[in-house]
Structure 1
Amino acid sequence: MRTVTDIPRSRGTRNAKLARIPLGMAGRAAVGFGRKLAGADKSAVDAELSQKAAEQLFAVLGELKGGAMKFGQALSVMEAAIPDELGEPYREALTKLQAAAPPLPTPEVHRVLDLQLGTKWRERFESFDDNPAASASIGQVHRAVWADGRAVAVKVQYPGADEALRADLKTLSRFAGAIAQITPGADVKPILAELTERTEEELDYRIEADHQRAFTRVFDEHSDFMVPRVVASAPKVVVTEWLTGTPLSAIIAEGTTAQRNRAGELLARFHLSSPALVGWLHCDPHPGNFMLLADNRLGVIDFGACAPFPDGLPPVLGRMVRLAREQDYGPLVAMLDEHGFVLPGRTVTPREIDEYLRPFTDPIKTESFHFTRAWLQRAAGVSANFNSPQAKTARAMNLPAEYLMIFRVLAGSIGICAQLDAETPFLEILTEWLPGYASP
């Protein structure tokens, strides 16, 4: 098994590894072009190039961990938007990044625990499994039993993760254009901007523990959601109660229709209700952070990335959704302009907004909506066409900083629902939890 003794910290080393992605793409594209000129089957060549690019993407991002792997995980939730003829290699490779990466060797794990929980940390556990149960972008999770007999998850941050995360996000910004070419349907630059903003908070597991405690207080004994309690925390280690359930990745792969629909509905309810109920938005929407429990509740883990919304979601969003549903585009354009959604000096017309939003408004036109890959591919395909009227309108639009996390979570949640092939009462959930929607 491939392991890492430490995250590569040298910016030059990490930059060189990340540069393999666009350079490798360019080299393979040139060779592929030559093979096509020589008479090779175009579809076969394209499929082979996609497979090799996906393999390289997973290998490089997984090896580097840090911001590189976190970026890959963020992209993986939107894999449903990738056209089927191009997407299967990326679907397999990016989905691996949701829960898998080379593990940190046992001596290094113990060294981190010594530093964070004290050299007598073993006395706080009945048992500790040295083999990681899961790997994430900046840490890995071990299963253990706490001294009082509770099964617990112990998340250990990789040595050097802080330096690597900051360095990767700067480097990946330089490659955003090239990476976007192999991730159709994903808007790369906003993802990177969001990850950069949340870097410092995610590196301190004490902050994550405080987020999780806030969610636990609200959802303790809740009929729909389960958030495990925090047992102990330190800057680079957090211990929480172990949660057992069926990961959404497994439900995506082989779940029943009932499981898919239940998971999709609960995911939407969790994301839209949390700001009002908890005052925080869980900002890491990928299938590895959610599971369906035996009692049909949605289990939620990993609270490193959370955004504060002490007064709930902004009511202006609800009013915009209401106007879009009613196709009242004149007032909607005025509201978009007033709240900074149109770039200074640019204008958009009601007709342009109508055409721009039409592919995305299906979920709010009916009481229940069936999220599918085909629907998401159509919607993403229209906006991804650089020469389309919708793309022209998009270039006049802006996403204000205060709405960035909301749209990131909404896009991720919809992406997962499309992967689940879930039918959900989306409009009902919006009506209940989106402030301003019911206002005239």
Structure 2
Amino acid sequence: MRRFSTTQAQRVRHNGQVTDIPRRAVARTAKLASLPLSFAGRTMLGFGKRVTGLASDVISAEIQERTAEQLFSVLGQLKGGAMKLGQALSVFEAALPDALAEPYREALTKLQEAAPPLPASTVHKVLAAQLGPEWRDLFVHFDDSPAAAASIGQVHKAEWKAGRKRTGVPVAVKVQYPGAGAALISDLGQLSRLAGLFKVIQPGLDVKPLVAELRERVVEELDYELEAKSQTGFANAYADDPDFLVPKVLASSKQVLVTEWVEGIPLSTVIGSGTVAERDRAGELMATLHFSAPKRAGMLHADPHPGNYRLLPDGRLAVIDFGAVARFPDGLPEPVGRLTRLALQGKANEVLVGLRKEGFVKHDLQIDAEEVLDYLLPILEPIQMEQFRFTRAWLRAEAGRIASPRSPAYQFGRQLNLPPSYLMIQRVTLGSIGVLCQLEAKAGYRGILERWLPGFKG
């Protein structure tokens, strides 16, 4: 893997913050600030009481549509932390009730792979700062038009010089937006104030913990050399695997990452128009990657939105972004599998004892063990049988059961605690389930856990 000096890049970032970033930050802050104000105006026109329970009970279709259009339009324009939050939320689109889903669906899915591109001149400046003034000599060809855009960078297709050959190796060149760090911190600080606005999307959705976790990982995701290390670890762990492809890293610096190019069907396309077989295959492989990676690579792929996956013609699943990973050198925690198995076996008292020990239930809190099973077993339905098909209807039912203040499960869930050490696992698992429900994928999920989740098989 080739590495490059970042001295010039650091100077460029510093100068960027002094001159350009403050003006951008003001504009971004103004856009974000406009959201709750506009929403408040629509609230006064449409209804005067606080949104509680199911949003469809009190929000008119017109208000839903206008809020969706403005909210996700602004998130998409902002890139940075706002777009990152939008991408994280987009995997939960499948949980929206039918009455609410349509106004949001198109706007949400656009966030998964679309963002306004950087000008070619700006891209060239970043490449010169990161790869050196003669950066063009490293490529046979470089396409100035981005092939894809994400929250903190955009991807260009190019041909990497391979020795003296006239034809190069097809590569993806990820270029970080100048000032991405300052933008991320500013955006996430602003977004934490908008938690109430996101209640329109899902009344039980608490955005603040998600924003806090995203903020903690800003530094890691801004460092493309760290991402290169993570991707190389995955590539080595899944080398020559019949089910997965992880592109090799060819070069990296703090703000530029060069990897093998992958041709395949984006998972967003599979969701929208894939065959049943393609959707089932993609879902099975996503679940397998989720549970196998901590054991095989010592890491959990922590950004399960559809833009990070491609279904290849030979049936393999390609994973193309490793900016967000969680490190589990010893694999997933054994209590996760063991307590799940005990719950399926109906051993309520043992489950409650284990949850107390892991910090999910406070020691001084009196809880009926059978209520624990009543709460957990519906969630565990996908692994109570040999084959299960995730559906939007199933997720909507579970979201309603757990997130509606009128539900007994909601009242019980408020007594539970989520230990910090499990926050990432919970978020990524829920995100993966959201994508499986978008795919409406059927597979033997129980068998996947039996093979890869420590403690589950017994």
TM-score normalised per structure 1: 0.93
Partner of 2:319: 300
**1:58-69 map, 5 Å:** 58-69=72-83
Instruction: Give 2:46's aligned residue.
Output: 32
CA–CA distance in structure 1, aligned partners of residues 87 and 128 of structure 2: 29
Q: Identity over the aligned pairs, expressed in percent?
A: 56
- What residue is the counterpart of 1:159 in the other structure? 178
State how far apart, in whole Å, the 1-side matches of 2:233 and 2:451 are. Answer: 22
Mark the CA change 1:425 to 1:8 in structure 2 (over 3 Å): closer, same or farther. farther
Partner of 1:277: 296
CA shift at 1:324, angstroms?
1.6
Once residues 381 and 402 of structure 2 are traced to their aligned partners in structure 1, the CA distance between those partners, rounded to angstroms, is 15
Equivalent-residue separation in structure 2 for 1:416 and 1:367 (angstroms): 20
Q: Which residue in the other structure is 1:141 paired with?
A: 155
* Pair 9,173 (structure 1): closer, same or farther in 2 beyond 3 Å: farther
Corresponding position of 1:112: 126
Gaps of 5+ in 2: 1-18, 49-55, 163-167
Contact persistence 1:359–1:378 (CA under 8 A): no
- Aligned twin of 2:208: 189
The answer on 1:382 being equivalent to 2:401 is yes
**Code of the aligned partner of 1:114:** A
Which residue does 1:77 correspond to in 2?
A: 91
What is the Cα deviation at residue 406 of structure 1?
1.0
**What code does the residue aligned with 1:96 have?**
K
Alpha-carbon deviations, 1:93-149, whole Å to 9, x = none?
011000001111111111111111111000000011100111100001111111121
The residue that corresponds to 2:111 in the other structure is 97
CA distance in structure 2 between the aligned counterparts of 1:58 and 1:266, rounded to whole angstroms: 29
Q: Deviations over 1:283-306 (max 9, x none)?
A: 000000011101100000110101
Q: Which moved more, 1:314-323 or 1:396-405?
A: 396-405
Residue aligning to 2:64: 50
Does 1:323 pair with 2:323?
no
What is the deviation of 1:361?
1.6
Could you tell me which amino acid in structure 1 is paired with residue 88 of structure 2? A
Given the superposition, is the C-alpha separation of residues 191 and 426 from structure 1 closer, same or farther in structure 2, using an over 3 Å criterion?
same
How far apart in 1 are the matches of 2:58 and 2:187? 33
The one-character-per-residue Cα deviations of 1:332-380 (angstroms, maximum 9, x if unpaired) are 1111111111246433321321232233121121011110000000000
Aligned residues of 1:7 and 1:64 also touching (Cα < 8 A): no
For 1:233 and 1:25, the matched residues in 2 are separated by: 43
Q: Does structure 1 residue 16 correspond to structure 2 residue 30?
A: yes
> Is 1:334 aligned to residue 334 of structure 2?
no
What aligned pairs does 1:230-309 form with structure 2 within 5 A after superposition? Answer: 230-309=249-328
CA contact (8 A) 1:318 1:434 kept: yes
Larger mean CA deviation between 293-302 and 351-360 belongs to: 351-360
Residue type at the aligned position of 2:114:
A
Does residue 399 of the first structure (1) align with residue 418 of the second (2)?
A: yes
Instruction: Report the alpha carbon displacement of residue 262 of structure 1 after superposing the two structures with TM.
Output: 0.4
How far 1:331 sits from its partner (Å)?
0.9
Instruction: Check conservation: 2:154, 2:176, Cα contact below 8 A.
Output: yes
Q: Where does residue 224 of structure 1 map in the other structure?
A: 243
Query: 1:428 & 1:208 partners in 2: Cα distance?
Result: 31
In structure 1, give the amino acid aligned to 2:214. Answer: L
Contact persistence 1:7–1:161 (CA under 8 A): no
> How many equivalent residue pairs?
428
Instruction: Quote the Cα distance in structure 2 between the aligned partners of 1:331 and 1:14.
Output: 50
Matched position secondary structure for 1:359: coil
Report the Cα offset of residue 6 of structure 1.
7.0
Deviation at 1:21, TM superposition (A): 2.1
CA-to-aligned-CA distance 1:236-255 (integer Å, 9 cap, x gap)? 11010100101111111111
Aligned-residue Cα RMSD (Å) equals 1.9
Partner of 1:180: 199
Q: Deviations over 1:368-419 (max 9, x none)?
A: 1110000000000111111322112221111111111111111111111100
SS of alignment partner, residue 211 of structure 1: helix
Residue identity in the other structure for 2:233? A
1:387–1:318 CA distance, 2 compared to 1 (3 A)? same
Tell me the residue number matched to 1:131: 145
Moved more, 181-190 or 74-83: 181-190
Match of 2:5 in 1: none
Gaps of at least 5 residues in structure 1 are: 35-41
Instruction: Quote the Cα distance in structure 1 between the aligned partners of 2:72 and 2:386.
Output: 39
In 2: Cα distance, 1:283 partner to 1:400 partner: 18
User: 1 CA distance for matches of 2:147 and 2:201?
Assistant: 30
- Taking the TM superposition and a 5 Å limit, the aligned residue runs for 1:362-377 are 362-377=381-396
Taking the aligned partners of 2:281 and 2:157, their CA distance within structure 1 comes to 28
Contact 1:347 1:396 in 2 (8 A): no
